[in-house]
Chain A
Amino acid sequence: MQQRRHCGKYCWPLFSFGFFLIALSNIRVAQATQDNDDITKAMSEAGAAFGGEKKEETNIKEQKSSTEVNGYGSNRFTFSQSDVGSLIPVNQQPEIIDLLELNVQLRRPLGSPAFFYTDASALLQAGGVYFSSSTAGKRIQVKASDVQTLHPLFVLSEFYLSYSPLPNLNLMIGKKRIVWGSGLTINPTDLLNPPKDPSDATLQRAGAWLFRLELPFDFFTFSAVWAPEVLYTDNGLPYQFLKYPDFPPQATVLDPVHNPDPRDRDYHYMLALRWYMLIKESDINLMYFFSNKYNDAFANKSRLGLSFSRYFFTDWEFHLETLFQQGSNRLYVNGSCVNQGTASVIGCLANKQDVFGQFKLNDPTFYARVLLGVRRTFSEESQLSLEYLYVGDGMTPTEFGNLVRGFSLAANNNSNANAAANALSFSPTQNSGGLINRFTFDPLRRHYLFINYSKPKIGDDWTLGVVILAGLEDLSGVVIPSVTWNAFEWLNLQVTGFVPVRGLKVGEVTAFGRQYSEYGLLPIDARVVFEARAFY
């Protein structure tokens, strides 16, 4: 009986991983049978797909008016080694996770000027093997618990109706990912959507619920977006927008201690205006955002954005994306409450001083987030992208030191430590309304460099890649090498590693006698991800 229960916990990930390996070993055999002289067949298929059956005298019609369906199935197997010495607790961080995703992308024309589109995924997960630190500081296996991030999930990445009553007028309602910025790894002006996975931007396609009016012309476009915030969701599906109802969310009813009632009487929304211009072969976007408690604590907040992209010297694409705002919604730790250890925390609590909080929320200082990048595709088709990110409201060494001291003190209390870990957003989460990223990035400090290099066509179907996310103040970061095999036109197999670089003893902060860097806080020693994705 004990044996069966043990299998039940780990069978799925092991079975899926085994299936992945079997598929890998058999594909080359199958590939040899692929038809090499298929242009005639492809021509016939293309004729049918775009304009009815291919005939000698056929007229090209509009694309077929029937529903178009495509998508993929993918299996992602992740093995991580938890860093049990991390300030962030790892006792609920499974070392083995298997994620199965079934995706459908459906486009249904509704007469000539309108269509309906959806991009939906069902995600099933299984995970297990938890480790933590013993009182002696040793790595020990701990019991599994019900981990919220492993629950099944349904993600509507996009779900909208688009209608163009006039050639230069488009109306859209529903959920859509709208990204106006030119950044590749991160978009400072993206205030609407779930965050990208910085290791692979294609892994996050989810958007926001919104209404958009757009006026597109040859050399400029005007867009206006109004987005109500999703306040309550269940397994990824929203059921309350804009204003809290009279009843609290179910999580609060079940566990009010860990899930305090979030309700207020405010309307939670964002209004965004964007003016796109194509000037001298440059893409320029000017953006204005006005929000009220939309995904953050800012009330009646105005922000300005700018984006630029252009090719220079024939092959070098240069881009700039920047966001300006007054104040910051970042969480800071009150230095006077943590400098002297637990005694100072108790002192602050006794004096009703906040130990941590959004102390710069109403700060009149203007802060900028600026991304500068270049991208080039070389003659042998390798691609290099370099991006520098400046975060104006990022933490100074003193503020980062206070944060680390706060973590050190919170680590003594498991529930506080879990809350702190969530605030850091180092781990994938389910509550963003998006797909589950392999890795999330929320900059804490001010200066970052992102390097992304890929070399395709190594042996025709193989692509080598490496992504480096580097914090420039303490030289810590993550190195993410990958190997992708495009085994068939419809099948990609990928192995990706995540290796934290703890820092080079430069710019680290000291907390209670230990040195810490930003990526030294990552709760993993290493992570390996195997993914098979079959398109249809």
Chain B
Amino acid sequence: MFKLALCMWVLVRVAPNFSAQDYLKKYDAMMGPDSFEGIMVMVAHRDDDTTRTYQMKILKSGDDKLRVWFNAPASAKGQEMLRQGENLWVYLPSIKKPVRLASRDNFQGGDFNNADILRANLAADYQVKFGQSAPEGQVLLELSSKNPETSYDRILLWLDAKNALPIRGEYYAASGKMLRSATFNEVKDFHGFKRPSRIVMRNELAIKRFSELATVDLKVGVNPPSTKFVLDELGR
């Protein structure tokens, strides 16, 4: 009881003006800005200590449009992914046509799933409240899924109480089992926009496996034409 009171006091002291919903919106705005163009690298570390590296360019417009171009590895070069609202497709140059994807499928076989990368809008999919055991200077957000379509049933997010920079995340299945955990590292300034430049996502079901997503460059506020997010544009 004393601990709970202490936590609440710390929370009120460091962040008197932000509600849990506010924090989540700040998180979404930081990790999935409304409109951006970015270059990212994902390195998947596997059980045998080898890695697979993916280079990609990401273009996002608004809440519901996102497109990814893959440049490496050579076997994935030319692949593209498109999200339009709830719809996800991958264009495979080897079959010369797009194929629908589920948001819960793994992103390129790594430890992120498609929704982690292509649909970073937690406020739309989860209800949020403050958790009770955040270290000093941090806030803990407890997210619970609004619908069964989401990748995780429950998410715990630790954010910096002052600026809402994410520090750590835990992602749970409906059974209560932890599926993934993430750390958010190396805050960088991308043309005046600050955010963690490296996310390490650990697969808690296969403990030696983890994936790193590094932001090489990011430019927010771009306004790409809507024709960039049309299914028949894939492969062009």
Contact = CB atoms under 8 A, between A and B. Distances in A.
Interface of A: 31, 34-36, 38-39, 42-43, 45-47, 49-51, 54, 57-60, 63, 70, 72, 105, 115, 158, 162, 164, 167-168, 170, 176-179, 201-202, 205, 207, 214, 216-218, 221, 223, 276, 278, 281, 283, 309-311, 314-315, 317, 377, 379, 381, 456-457, 459-461, 489-490, 492, 535-536
Contacts of B225: 167
B39 A46 contact: yes
A460 B87 contact: no
B104 A70 contact: no
Contacts of B71: 46, 49-50
Contacts of A72: 74
A205 B96 CA distance: 7
B50 A39 contact: no
B231 A283 contact: yes
A46 B55 contact: yes
A70 B78 contact: yes
B182 to A, nearest CB: 16
B92 A218 contact: no
Main secondary structure of the interface of A (DSSP, over half): mixed
Contacts of B43: 38-39, 42
A218 B230 contact: yes
B87 A59 contact: no
Contacts of B124: none
B94 to A, nearest CB: 4
A50 B232 contact: no
B16 interface: no
Contact of A70 (B77, B216, B226, B233): B77
B109 A456 contact: yes
| CB-based closest 8 A-B pairs | A489-B73, A535-B74, A202-B94, A46-B55, A177-B96, A216-B232, A216-B230, A535-B75
Contacts of B26: none
B52 interface: yes
Interface of B: 37-41, 43, 45-53, 55-57, 69, 71-75, 77-78, 84-87, 92-97, 100, 102, 104-106, 109, 148-149, 191, 212, 214, 216-217, 219, 225-227, 229-233, 236
A176 B236 CA distance: 12
Given A60-B219, A177-B96, A45 B148 contact: no
A57 B193 CA distance: 12
11 contacts: A31-B50, A42-B43, A58-B217, A105-B78, A115-B236, A164-B236, A168-B227, A201-B94, A459-B47, A459-B48, A489-B52
A63 B96 contact: no
B130 to A, nearest CB: 29
A45 B231 contact: no
Contacts of A459: 47-48
B94 A162 contact: no
B108 to A, nearest CB: 11
Contacts of A490: 73-75
Contact of B104 (A43, A58, A168, A314): A314
Given A34-B50, A54-B216, A377 B105 contact: yes
Contacts of A170: 232, 236
A46 B216 contact: yes
Most chain B CB inside 10 Å of its own CB: which residue of A60, A167, A309? A60
Given A47-B217, A218-B84, 9 more contacts: A36-B50, A54-B216, A115-B236, A170-B232, A177-B96, A178-B96, A201-B95, A205-B93, A278-B84
A221 B230 contact: yes
Contact of B48 (A377, A460, A536): A460
Given A46-B40, A535-B73, A311 B100 contact: yes
A54 B46 CA distance: 27
A217 B225 CA distance: 11
A105 B52 CA distance: 23
Contacts of A115: 236
B124 to A, nearest CB: 16
A201 B92 CA distance: 11
A45 B217 CA distance: 12
A381 B85 contact: no
A58 to B, nearest CB: 6
A460 B217 contact: no
Given A167-B225, A278-B87, A489 B53 contact: yes
Given A54-B216, A202-B92, A221-B232, A38 B55 contact: no
Contacts of B231: 216, 221, 276, 278, 283
B86 A59 contact: no
A156 to B, nearest CB: 14
B5 to A, nearest CB: 41
Contact of A218 (B94, B104, B105, B226): B226
A159 to B, nearest CB: 13
Contacts of A45: 55, 72
A34 B109 contact: no
B50 A38 contact: no
A276 B217 contact: no
B35 to A, nearest CB: 13
Contact of A214 (B84, B86, B106, B232): B232
Contacts of A457: 109
A167 B227 contact: yes
A47 B49 CA distance: 25
A317 B41 contact: no
B125 to A, nearest CB: 13
B73 A179 contact: no
B38 A60 contact: yes
Contact of B37 (A43, A57, A60, A223): A60
A51 B45 contact: no
A167 B229 CA distance: 12
Contacts of A381: 106, 109
B55 A162 contact: no
